Amino acid sequence: MKIITNATVITVNEQNEVIYNGAVGFDGGKITYVGKTPDDLSAYSEVIDGTNKYLMPGLINTHGHVGMSLLRGFADDLPLKQWLEEKMWPMEGQFTAEHVKWGTAISIIEMIRTGTTTFVDMYDHMDTVAQEVEASGMRGVLCRGVIGFCSEEERQQKLQEAASFAVRWNGAANGRIHTMMSPHAPYTCSPEYIQQILEKAIELNVPLHIHMSESKAEVAQNEQDYGVRPVAHLENLGVFNHPTLVAHAVHLTDEEIDTLAKYDVKVAHNPISNLKLASGVARVPEMLAKGVCVSLATDSSASNNNLNLFEELKLAAILHKGVSFDPEVVPAEEALRMATRYAADAVFQKDSLGSLEEGKKADMIMLNAAQAHYHPANDPISHVVYAANGYDVTDTIVDGQFLMKDKELITMDEQKAIDEVNRVFASLNQ
């Protein structure tokens, strides 16, 4: 048994407790103690001093495409269609497993450094992504995202590949990997194809992950193609009868928010990507008010351009105040829940992730609070959301294992990943 002592423990439990001079004990991958630092530490084989540190749950990033970090900074500030058709797709079309491997490696390094302990990934070459998750010690919720713009034979092949991946990796890496099935979006998969993927997800008992209502144009296209907006479209297809995590959900009517609440559809809110791609601002205060589970996500580094979820944490807390002219919406503690508790719910692991509580997984991070921007030592939750930064993280622990200790990466070689990512990027025809 190990214990971290003398820390400011931000539990994000139901009572939103902050414990000063707090401690968290853990045995293997599980939390065994959360409370004041005990006087008697003799039961613990290792005592880690958390003086001047905040200790909190690791953040959970509920939507992304880590392989795309290979395209960070390759194309910005372009209209979406041009960005996709002239820049992203021609490059991604050349990606091999090796490209995805190194894109994943730099992404995992960045997430470990900035305090993310679980990430959702929807992409191709997912065996490679899963291998990197396994080797790095991270926790992942992974799915092979399938696009139906191809022959029927290829579609069935992709579906089988996605199902095979979901079966082979679910529960792997000591339970650190969960899987999902993923029709990419209503505008890239036909209704029939979505239903086939849904049926497979039901058969395999894994959730669905899908992009939905990201842009105005997408909603208009859906109405033109199918006579209804994306929410009704997916509802009609039976998708929402199954556990589902939708990414974006930017353009919603009041009735659509009611529908998401009714079916307990989980939402991944990507505020930076939504702004950068000019998609708009999701109606987060309205969703939260109606009890929709809204979590935070980065999307990919091609539209962000990093995976530092602390940026989303702050932006989610301030953006909706500004656009609604209401300073009371999305208060700091609610934003923090969106990156932790609610995110654990969004990946269907609320009983084991998302807060520091006895019996939950030992996924946690420490922040260096001995810095000017953490003072005066007022409300730690305010400081985490509004003043802190991902690079304040000193220690990242997943499943009881240190992946970063005192800023040193334990499982990943950053310089090698940097060298390799530049090497494989240079191999692409631009």
Q: Which of 189, 224, 221, 227 is nearest to 208 (CA)?
A: 189
Q: Restricting to residues 237-276, which ones interact with its own copies according to CB under 8 A?
A: 272, 274-276
Ligand-binding site membership of 211 (annotated):
yes
Binding mask 75-114 for its own copies (x = CB under 8 A): -xxxxx--x----------------------xx-xx--x-
244 or 274, CB closer to its own copies? 274
Q: Restricting to residues 385-404, which ones interact with its own copies according to CB under 8 A?
A: 386-387, 389-392
266 or 383, CB closer to its own copies? 383
371 binds its own copies (CB under 8 A): yes
38 binds its own copies (CB under 8 A): no
In whole angstroms, the minimum distance from the beta carbon of 31 to its own copies comes to: 27
Tell me how long the chain is.
430
270 or 349, CB closer to its own copies? 270
161 or 286, CB closer to its own copies? 286
Ligand-binding site membership of 125 (annotated):
no
Q: Restricting to residues 110-139, which ones interact with its own copies according to CB under 8 A?
A: 110, 113
Q: Which of 24, 55, 252, 277 binds its own copies (CB under 8 A)?
A: 277
Ligand-binding site membership of 299 (annotated):
yes
| Sign of the dihedral defined by the CA atoms of residues 221, 223, 227, 233, in that order | positive
Ligand-binding site membership of 214 (annotated):
yes
Peptide bond just before 376 cis, omega within 30 deg: yes
Binding mask 168-197 for its own copies (x = CB under 8 A): ------------------------------
Q: Restricting to residues 193-222, which ones interact with its own copies according to CB under 8 A?
A: 216
Q: Is 261 exposed, middle or buried (0-12, 13-18, 19+ CB in 10 A)?
A: middle
In whole angstroms, the minimum distance from the beta carbon of 72 to its own copies comes to: 6
Options 10-18, 160-168, 174-182, 315-323: segment touching its own copies (CB under 8 A)? 315-323
Paired strand residues for 193: none
Q: Restricting to residues 316-335, which ones interact with its own copies according to CB under 8 A?
A: 317-319, 321-328, 331-332
Cβ atoms within 10 A of the Cβ of 85, count?
Answer: 11
Binding residues for substrate: 92, 144, 155, 184, 214, 299
